Amino acid sequence: MMNSSAVLLYDQIKSTEPFFVLAGPNVIESEEHIFRMAKHIKAITSKLGLPLVFKSSFDKANRTSSQSFRGPGMDQGLKILEKVKLAYDIPIVTDVHEANQCEAVGKVADIIQIPAFLCRQTDLLIAAAKTGKIINIKKGQFCAPSVMVNSAEKVRLAGNPNVMVCERGTMFGYNDLIVDPRNLEWMREANCPIVADITHSLQQPAGKKLEGGGVASGGLRELIPCIARTAVAVGVDGIFMEVHDDPLQAPVDGPTQWPLRHFEELLKELMEIARVTKGKQQFKIDLTPYRDQDS
């Protein structure tokens, strides 16, 4: 079960200062696009000294509309991800939707991501855990942060200690999400690295009508820096963000993909915030009565 490369990567990202980065385009659009994005994203994170895990999905299996672009599928998608992994010597994170996908995905991906809708699916969590790879569980939009303690425990009980949990917003009425920074603190009860998904958190699920019928996710791209600054100030271990060189033409989640041209600029600011915040440490609150001599 234990995978030595996964343990090494997990130990590296657990101890990273100020934070590690999971980033890439939402979905695999083409091999050429993935290679281009990986080249630019790796160049920027390497320049800044931030550990990168490159992200893209081979299948968007949980879209609201049947008309939504889904990607190349598992077989072709994994081949593309494996090529980019070898070409740029970068670890890969991608998501699974069914237990029977985990073994094949685990042969390529360094981190297997559990989508938010599936964060309580016991069989899926166990199958992912059995690959020995790092498991990143996204918190369901409908879940309290305490749920993630149980989800992480399912992975550990299956024999895999390499787990992390990810905040991606909470349902706020229809077609909207809200980010509660308290979750970034409360999710630490899962006793593992905490990741903030700063782009999906600003989705407006099924909030955009498509020409010819159907719906897609809308989003509030202009607030991505706001949520990112908040997460880093609170002291997360990792930042998850979807990045695109041409967001207006992105086939999926265009409204919440961050423009590649601003990627370095935003990361630099987040690193500056991380230098002055003590967000990763518990504040020691002294409730003894204040005396004049205390000053």
Asked about 26 being catalytic, the answer comes back as yes
Asked about 60 being catalytic, the answer comes back as yes
pLDDT, mean of residues 232-253: 93
pLDDT at 188 over 70: yes
pLDDT, mean of residues 64-71: 54
Domains and CATH numbers, the chain: 4-276 (3.20.20.70)
User: Of 95, 110, 237, 253, which residue is the catalytic one?
Assistant: 253
Cis-peptide into 72, omega within 30 deg = no
Asked about 253 being catalytic, the answer comes back as yes
Confidence of residue 3 (pLDDT cuts 50, 70, 90): confident
- Cα–Cα distance measured from residue 111 to residue 148, given in angstroms and rounded to the nearest whole number: 17
Closest CA to 156 of 196, 187, 192: 192
Q: pLDDT value at position 4? A: 83
How big is the chain by its Cα radius of gyration, in Å? 19
Confidence of residue 10 (pLDDT cuts 50, 70, 90): very high
Confidence of residue 64 (pLDDT cuts 50, 70, 90): very low
Residues belonging to the chain: 295
User: Of 42, 55, 59, 60, which residue is the catalytic one?
Assistant: 60
